[in-house]
Amino acid sequence: MAEVDFWAVFDAAPVALSVLSRDLAFVAVNRAHERLFGRTCGECIGRNAFEVFPGGSWPEGVEVLRSSLERVLAGGEGEGDILMLQRYDIEMPGSPGTRRERYWSVASAPLLDRDGAVCGVIVRMQEVTSVVERMRQESRSAFSEAGLAHAAVVEAQLFAETGELQAVNRRLRSAEARERGVTERRRA
C-alpha cells in the first residue's frame, strides 16, 4: 500500500472533525465540519472555538463542552471524553443573531506531540437534533397530554443517562489515575 496522506484522510472523513490547540483555537477543520456548521476553514482557523461558536440561550451547553475539552487537555494518552447528548445552540449561517436549538454527540481525544505531551485535542461532532425533534414531533402528533408527558420523560431519561455515563467516565478516569499512581509508587 502506498504511503497514506493523513491530511487527505482527515479532510475526506464523512464526520465533522476539528483539531483544537491547547488554548482551544481551531487548528484544522475538515470539509464535513464546514458543511455541518456552515463556516469555512478560513472563518475558524486561529480563532477560539467558543468565539466562533459562542453558544446561545443554553449556557450550560457551553460550560459542559468547555469542561469536557479541558478534561481531555489535562489528561493524557487514552483520556478521551464523550458527551452522548449535549444541547449546544449555534448561530444559523447567513442569519446573524439567529440561533437554533441543536443537540450533539461529541467525542474528543488528546493529540500528543512526539514526546507524548498533550498538544491539542481532536473533536468529532455529530448532530443528533433530528432524533430529539422526531421524539417531540411524535408526541405532538398524538395531540395528547400523555404524549407530551411521555416525550418529556424520554427526553429527561436521555439527559439523565447521559449524565450518568459522564459520571461513570469521571469515576473511571479517577480510578485509572489512582491505579497509575499506585503502579508508579511500586516501581519507585
Structural domain spans, the chain: 1-127, 129-188
Mean pLDDT for each 10-residue chunk of the chain (188 residues)?
85 95 97 93 94 80 91 82 86 74 91 91 93 76 52 58 58 67 78
For CA atoms 134, 135, 138, 139, the dihedral sign is negative
At 122 the pLDDT is: 96
Does domain 1-127 match CATH 3.40.50.300?
Answer: no
By CB neighbour count within 10 A (0-12 exposed, 13-18 middle, 19+ buried), where does 84 fall? middle
pTM for the full model? Answer: 0.70
Using CA atoms, how far residue 118 sits from 22, 59, 79, 129, 173, in Å, is: 8, 27, 10, 31, 16
At 185 the pLDDT is: 81
At 183 the pLDDT is: 77
At 118 the pLDDT is: 93
At 143 the pLDDT is: 46
At 159 the pLDDT is: 57
Distance between CA 139 and CA 114 in Å, rounded?
Answer: 52
